[in-house]
Amino acid sequence: MKDNYKKRVAAANKKNRKKFLKIPFAERMILIPQCLRNSKKCRAKESGPFFICADCGACKIKKIREKASRLGYKKIYILKGGKIIPSLFEKDKPLAVIGVACEWEGFLGQKICGEFKIPVQFFPLSRDGCADTDVGTDAFLKFIEE
């Protein structure tokens, strides 16, 4: 089943790629799952459906946020779950989205973006699960530069 989602998100990435690349960084949003935080050391503050990063450096999110900020990304959210995504889209009105997640959540996120007609690029976690996941930082930082 996992391979099925992997193929579907890869196909959606390919389909959306050209349109996505035309959108400037200032109109793009990055959605990061809370599971990427270091559950034992993270000092992020909960704020309703997401976390506010404390830039403590206990996980890779600080590095991602710093790079995205230097590039001029519109918003970066650390989400507790995907149910908040539609209201974030209505509030922030991004023209493009990068989502980091496991294949299943990436598939669901791509569906939501499709409903809003927002080109999305999905980047898979290198280790998934519901806590203390991982992402290939160097590859992801290069990915958000495009």
Q: Give the model confidence (pLDDT) of 13-63 as tens digits.
A: 999 999 999 999 999 999 999 999 999 999 999 999 999 999 999 999 999
Note the helical H segments in 22-136. 61-71, 85-92, 103-115
The count of domains in the chain is 1
Interior/surface letters 68-87, b for 16+ CB within 10 angstroms, e for the rest: beeeebbebbbbbebebbee
Look up the CATH number of the domain holding residue 134.
Answer: 3.40.50
3-state secondary structure at position 39: coil
Full residue range of the structural domain in which residue 79 is found: 2-145
State residue 73's pLDDT score: 98
